[in-house]
């Protein structure tokens, strides 16, 4: 988590400070506040909600995930690899006669290639998501907040990290307040 | 979000009054001229109109596929109580209300059915043990009865769904929608059943010796491909002419693109499943279909279908970007539609010639027709002769032009959106992830 470009990053004045946590009343308020933070140039912050909210990714200015490219590349490799393996085993290295059919045919070997492609896609999606989300994380400063527990039920939150270049305790709190936060609290690690 | 307000625009943007008569005139006249030209060329080649009927059947099946899958789309919309599809529901309803026209256009096929359907000959059907019991199903009176029943059911269901929907525009009664949803279940079953039986009659019936349990599903999947290609094309055409401005958004196009992608894949899945089982089984009554399609230029078309109907659009449609940009989606919709036509061409046209007179006479003489592959070869290539291809193209333009003209006739002066459907606001505000 510390491999961050120092030109944007500033080491916080208070090393124990994680950031500010703001609670919002409903999904729409969260989207509006996300718009405000993005327009004010904040970079190190995230939204937390119990369910996916339409339009939130746009309001946060999230970029496209590289996941599809990774999965597609691995899946293509797996498909070609499975066909190559089947060809090598059954048609080249040790030719097998099965019910009078030719040694090599796309048809029967697609049976191997198709599940190999699917399996490779699934496994890649799973682990790539893990890596892109920087998981596993066993402990997170936000979990120290009593209020934050409602995020899995009916709470809508924005946390702005103290590492953000624009972070300033009073100014950021005022901005979140103006953006419609119901409650704001400091989160300490 | 739900508090987004959407204005429907002016009356001119919802009701098609200007464009429809012009399209009807243009498409209709081009269609009629093309059909007459095709018939004249068909007469000139002196083959008892066989190639014309063959091309005509291909074009007719293509339009039939669009209409029946349009009805299938409307029924699925009600069956799943869907919201987003409301924006293109009127287009699908108009496409599905073409069955009266299609029934009229079926008359030339009925007149010439002796040329293309070998089972119309009693002697042929008695020529082999595997054919004899099929005559119970494949005989002229029962065929006419079946086609009559299909058209009665399809016309009834499509008119009921279209009329109720249009009447809801007038009175705004919600019970109409509820009733349509309640009836969608059994109507859906009937339409799917007709799709399967129509595939048996119109495709498998061309080659009575051939048997495949996957063919009805293959045909139905091909039908479903056409509707998700035709809907975005129609919607873009209307929007390009100033109708429904901002009402069909890229979210809706994205949804249609996803369905197109899904059915392109499903088509490949079913095509592969059918091929693989027949390849493994290697039983003559099943391999009859692929035998002729693995030789010479037909083999090239078979490969072209795998690449052009599956691999290339699969790559093209897989990304979110390709489905959300209207220009790329339009390109792929036209591409897939063209290859779906090629698929019907590939299913129908060689089959007609496998049953050439030479092969049939041999069958009557007690020989196995499939041993006469060599002698039948020349006939099998005939649909790919340049003149035959011109007839096929003219038939496609002809039947397609009349079909488009009639669709615009049905769309004209009616609201292009179900204005008083309770789910319309939800449909307009839909966001696709």
Q: What is the pLDDT of residue B360?
A: 52
Q: What is the pLDDT of residue B230?
A: 96
pLDDT, tens only, B58-111? 999 999 999 999 999 999 999 999 999 999 999 999 999 999 999 999 999 999
Residue with tokens 């019991």: B133
Q: Can you tell me the ipTM of this complex?
A: 0.74
Residue A54: list chain B partners with CB under 8 A. Answer: 1, 431, 433
Of B3, B272, B319, the CB nearest to A110: B272
HEC-encoded secondary structure of B320-346:
HHHHHCHHHHHHHHHHHHHHHHHHHHH
* Best residue of B274, B280, B283, B306 to probe chain A, by most A CBs closer than 10 Å: B280
Q: For the whole model, what pTM was predicted?
A: 0.87
In the predicted model, is pLDDT for residue B37 greater than 70?
yes
Bridge partners of residue A186, in order along the sequence: A20
Q: What is the pLDDT of residue A2?
A: 39
> In this complex, how many residue pairs, one in chain A and one in chain B, have their CB atoms less than 8 Å apart?
25
Q: Where are the domains of chain B?
A: 15-428
Question: For the residues B267-286, what does the mean pLDDT come to?
Answer: 90
Q: What is the pLDDT of residue A29?
A: 92
- Split at pLDDT 50, 70, 90, the class of B153 is very high
* Best residue of A26, A106, A121, A156 to probe chain B, by most B CBs closer than 10 Å: A106
Q: Do B1 and A28 touch (CB under 8 A)?
A: yes
In the predicted model, is pLDDT for residue B46 greater than 60?
yes
In the predicted model, is pLDDT for residue B238 greater than 90?
yes
Residue A107: list chain B partners with CB under 8 A. Answer: 272, 275-276, 279-280
Q: What is the pLDDT of residue B131?
A: 86
Residue B432: list chain A partners with CB under 8 A. Answer: none
Centre a 10 Å sphere on the Cβ of residue A186 and count the other Cβ atoms it contains: 15
Name every residue whose Cβ is closer than 8 Å to that of residue B303 and which is 6 or more positions away in sequence: none
Nearest CA in chain B to A29: B1
Residue B433: list chain A partners with CB under 8 A. Answer: 52, 54
* Token pair of B265 as six digits: 């894949």
Question: For the residues B23-48, what does the mean pLDDT come to?
Answer: 93
Residues in A lying within 8 Å of B, measured between beta carbons:
27-28, 31, 52, 54-55, 68, 72, 99, 101, 105, 107-108, 110
In the predicted model, is pLDDT for residue B328 greater than 50?
yes
Inter-residue contact B92 to B227 (CB < 8 Å): yes
Q: What is the pLDDT of residue B413?
A: 85
Q: Do A107 and B275 touch (CB under 8 A)?
A: yes
Q: Do A72 and B433 touch (CB under 8 A)?
A: no
Inter-residue contact B431 to B29 (CB < 8 Å): no
Inter-residue contact B214 to B263 (CB < 8 Å): no
Residue A68: list chain B partners with CB under 8 A. Answer: 319-320
> DSSP assignment of B105-119, as one string?
HTHHHHHTHHHH-GG
Inter-residue contact B280 to B349 (CB < 8 Å): no
**Chain B closest-CA separation from residue A142 CA (Å):** 28
Inter-residue contact B27 to B34 (CB < 8 Å): no
Residues in B lying within 8 Å of A, measured between beta carbons:
1, 3, 272, 275-276, 279-280, 318-320, 431, 433
Q: What is the pLDDT of residue A4?
A: 39
Q: What is the pLDDT of residue B18?
A: 85
Residue A31: list chain B partners with CB under 8 A. Answer: 1
pLDDT, tens only, B362-400? 555 555 544 554 444 556 777 888 899 999 999 999 999
* Token pair of B214 as six digits: 């996957």
Q: What is the pLDDT of residue B361?
A: 55
Q: Do A68 and B275 touch (CB under 8 A)?
A: no
Residue B320: list chain A partners with CB under 8 A. Answer: 68
Outline where DSSP puts E strands in chain A: 17-24, 45-48, 156-161, 183-188
What number of CA atoms fall less than 13 Å from residue A112's CA on the CB side? 15
Q: What is the pLDDT of residue B285?
A: 82
**Residue ranges of chain A whose pLDDT lies below 70:** 1-13
Of A31, A55, A107, the CB nearest to B276: A107
User: Which domains, from first to last, does chain A contain?
Assistant: 17-50+152-163+172-188 (3.30.70), 67-132 (no CATH)
Residue A108: list chain B partners with CB under 8 A. Answer: 276, 280
Residue with tokens 């496209």: A64
């Amino acid at each position: 988590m510390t491999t961050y470009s120092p030109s944007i990053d500033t080491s916080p004045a208070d090393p124990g400070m994680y950031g500010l946590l703001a609670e919002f009343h409903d999904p729409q308020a969260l989207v509006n506040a996300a718009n405000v933070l993005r327009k004010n140039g904040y970079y190190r912050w995230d939204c937390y909600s119990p369910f996916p909210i339409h339009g939130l990714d746009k309001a946060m200015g999230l970029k496209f995930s590289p996941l599809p490219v990774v999965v597609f590349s691995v899946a293509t490799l797996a498909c070609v690899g499975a066909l190559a393996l089947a060809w090598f085993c059954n048609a080249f290295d040790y030719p097998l006669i099965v019910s009078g059919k030719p040694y090599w045919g796309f048809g029967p070997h697609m049976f191997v290639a198709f599940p190999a492609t699917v399996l490779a896609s699934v496994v890649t999606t799973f682990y790539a998501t893990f890596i892109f989300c920087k998981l596993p994380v066993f402990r997170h400063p936000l979990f120290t907040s009593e209020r934050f527990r409602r995020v899995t039920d009916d709470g809508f939150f924005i946390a702005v990290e103290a590492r953000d270049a624009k972070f300033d305790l009073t100014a950021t709190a005022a901005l979140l307040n103006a953006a419609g936060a119901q409650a704001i609290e400091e989160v300490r690690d | 979000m739900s508090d987004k307000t959407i204005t429907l625009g002016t009356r001119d943007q919802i009701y098609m009054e200007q464009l429809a008569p012009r399209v009807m005139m243009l498409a209709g006249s081009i269609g009629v001229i093309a059909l007459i030209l095709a018939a004249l060329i068909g007469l000139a080649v002196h083959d008892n109109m066989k190639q014309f009927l063959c091309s005509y059947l291909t074009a007719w099946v293509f339009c039939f596929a669009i209409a029946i899958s349009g009805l299938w789309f409307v029924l699925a919309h009600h069956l799943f109580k869907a919201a987003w599809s409301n924006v293109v529901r009127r287009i699908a309803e108009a496409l599905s209300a073409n069955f009266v026209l299609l029934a009229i256009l079926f008359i030339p096929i009925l007149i010439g059915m002796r040329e293309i359907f070998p089972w119309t000959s009693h002697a042929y059907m008695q020529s082999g043990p595997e054919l004899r019991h099929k005559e119970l199903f494949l005989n002229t009176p029962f065929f006419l009865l079946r086609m009559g029943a299909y058209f009665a059911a399809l016309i009834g269901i499509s008119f009921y769904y279209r009329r109720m929907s249009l009447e809801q525009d007038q009175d705004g009664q919600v019970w109409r929608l509820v009733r349509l949803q309640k009836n969608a279940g059994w109507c859906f079953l009937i339409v799917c059943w007709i799709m399967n039986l129509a595939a048996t009659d119109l495709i498998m019936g061309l080659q009575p010796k051939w048997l495949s349990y996957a063919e009805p599903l293959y045909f139905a999947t091909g039908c479903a491909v056409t509707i998700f290609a035709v809907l975005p094309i129609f919607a873009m055409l209307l929007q390009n002419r100033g109708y429904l401005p901002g009402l069909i958004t890229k979210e809706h196009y994205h949804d249609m693109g996803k369905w197109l992608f899904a059915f392109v894949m499903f088509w490949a899945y079913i095509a592969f499943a059918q091929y693989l089982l027949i390849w493994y089984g290697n039983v003559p009554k099943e391999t009859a279909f692929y035998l002729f399609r693995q030789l010479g230029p037909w083999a090239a078309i078979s490969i072209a279908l795998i690449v052009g109907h599956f691999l290339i659009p699969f790559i093209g449609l897989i990304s979110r970007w390709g489905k959300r940009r209207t220009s790329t989606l339009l390109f792929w919709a036209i591409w897939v539609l063209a290859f779906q036509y090629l698929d019907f061409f590939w299913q129908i046209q060689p089959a007609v010639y496998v049953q050439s007179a030479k092969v049939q006479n041999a069958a009557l003489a007690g020989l196995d027709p499939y041993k006469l592959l060599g002698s039948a070869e020349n006939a099998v290539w005939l649909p790919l002769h340049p003149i035959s291809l011109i007839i096929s193209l003219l038939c496609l333009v002809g039947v397609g032009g009349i079909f488009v003209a009639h669709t615009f006739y049905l769309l004209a002066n009616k609201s292009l959106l179900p204005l008083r459907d309770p789910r319309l606001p939800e449909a307009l505000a839909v966001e696709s992830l």
